[in-house]
Amino acid sequence: MNAFERLLFKNSVSLSRYMSLCLYKKKHGFYQKNRIGKHFVTSPEISQLFGECISIFFMMLTKQFKIKNICEFGPGNGTLTKDLIFTLSKFIDYKLFFNLYEKSEYLKRIQSKNLIKLHSEKTSINFLEKLKLNREPYFFICNEFFDALPINQYEKINNSWFEKKIILENKLKIFNEKTEFDLPLDAKNGDILEISPLTNLYLKKIFKHIKNFGGGILIFDYGPFKKKKISTLQAIYKSKKCGVLEFPFKSDITYHVDFHEIKELSSQFNLFCYGPITQKEFLFFYGINERVLNLSLKIKSKTKINAIESQFERLTCPNGMGNLIKCLFISKNEFYSDVLKKNA
């Protein structure tokens, strides 16, 4: 850390404040100076197959109710939106409005560069400074968005709750500070709760919009079907796991999303909830197998075929993204799908 960065931790800070500074601080934060793919890779960066499958899902959705607004949260390099535009423009016969909500100024510039040429009579691209939405149905997409929002951790020790905080002494260290925060009474000693205030704020705003105006939200993120009461915080530096405090401002920090909590919150808005299911199940149901087979028959280059098969394997591998990433869909109206079972 440089002198300025060390000054930020002169006094103790909450874990959420630490994550916020390390990931989003202007000019210093990880996402303010790193493009997606440099230290870690997301599904859209692996292959356009991911975006094509989501396009098929969207087209099935629009058979039941017309949606012209698509809004992606944390669009990274803009790759998923680009793939959606390429695919949907071939099949949707009305104008679509693509909205990108991004907090990183650095990534906004990359998105603009990658997408600005795709404006057309059938495609409008908008970069949202604030989350101001039209009073219309939206199809929201959050791919690996919530897992990088700042969290606080609370641990139950000797029947009392302590918050994990961070302080800089000779080096950064975590310590426990007793808290009177209102937490579950049925937790056991040793249980760790991870709470993201920002996640709740975003979801409440999205769910309120869906309840009032229709549409839905499709979420892909890391996490088990049922989250355990343990620390799931992890950091990635140059594509390898490292300690959360080891490379501040230089590493990506994430945690496992609590899908059960998201479902519980959606029920407060009387919305229909489908899933979670694995990313592999979603992609298989929405045609990735057929698409790979079709491409393999058309392409003559063995090298290109091997590349496509490798991409397919990375997206669907049971020991990797295929099972680690879960998918959840929440909507105002009932959605008929054999794979996304309601309240599974």
Asked if 99 and 130 count as a contact pair (C-beta separation under 8 A), the reply is no
Give the pLDDT score at 1: 66
Strand order in the sheet with 215-222: 123-128, 96-101, 69-73, 138-143, 215-222, 325-331, 272-278
44 and 116 share one domain: yes
* Tens-place pLDDT, residues 187-203: 999 999 999 999 999 99
Distance in angstroms (rounded) separating the CA atoms of residues 21 and 172: 14
Q: What is the total count of domains within the chain?
A: 2
65 — pLDDT class (breaks 50, 70, 90): confident
3-state secondary structure 277-294: EEHHHHHHHCCHHHHHHH
The last residue of a domain, from among 240, 255, 270? 255
340 and 293 share one domain: yes
106 and 124 share one domain: yes
Distance in angstroms (rounded) separating the CA atoms of residues 14 and 7: 15
Give the pLDDT score at 341: 63
84 and 219 share one domain: yes
- Per the model's pLDDT, the better-predicted residue between 159 and 38 turns out to be 159
80 and 133 share one domain: yes
pTM to 2 decimals? Answer: 0.93
Q: What's 331's DSSP letter?
A: E
165 and 202 share one domain: no
Please give the average per-residue pLDDT across 193-220, as a whole number. Answer: 97
Beta strands 96-101 and 69-73: pairing type? parallel
Asked if 316 and 284 count as a contact pair (C-beta separation under 8 A), the reply is yes
89 and 211 share one domain: yes
98 and 6 share one domain: no
101 and 215 share one domain: yes
Give the pLDDT score at 4: 62
Residue 34 has pLDDT above 90, yes or no: no
- What is the CATH number for 95? 3.40.50.12710
Give the pLDDT score at 140: 98
Residue 37 has pLDDT above 70, yes or no: no
Which domain does 166 fall in, by range?
1-27+152-195+224-255
Rounded to 5°, the CA angle 336-88-85 comes to 130
171 and 82 share one domain: no
249 — pLDDT class (breaks 50, 70, 90): very high
164 and 212 share one domain: no
Total length of the chain? 344
Please give the average per-residue pLDDT across 11-18, as a whole number. Answer: 92
Strands (DSSP E) contained in the chain are 13-14, 69-73, 96-101, 123-128, 138-143, 152-157, 160-168, 172-178, 192-195, 215-222, 234-237, 240-242, 252-254, 272-278, 325-331
* Tens-place pLDDT, residues 317-342: 999 999 999 999 999 988 876 666 64
Q: What's 10's DSSP letter?
A: S
201 and 311 share one domain: yes
Q: Is 221 helix (H, G, I), strand (E, B) or coil?
A: strand
Beta strands 240-242 and 192-195: pairing type? unpaired
Q: Is 3 helix (H, G, I), strand (E, B) or coil?
A: helix
Distance in angstroms (rounded) separating the CA atoms of residues 81 and 100: 8
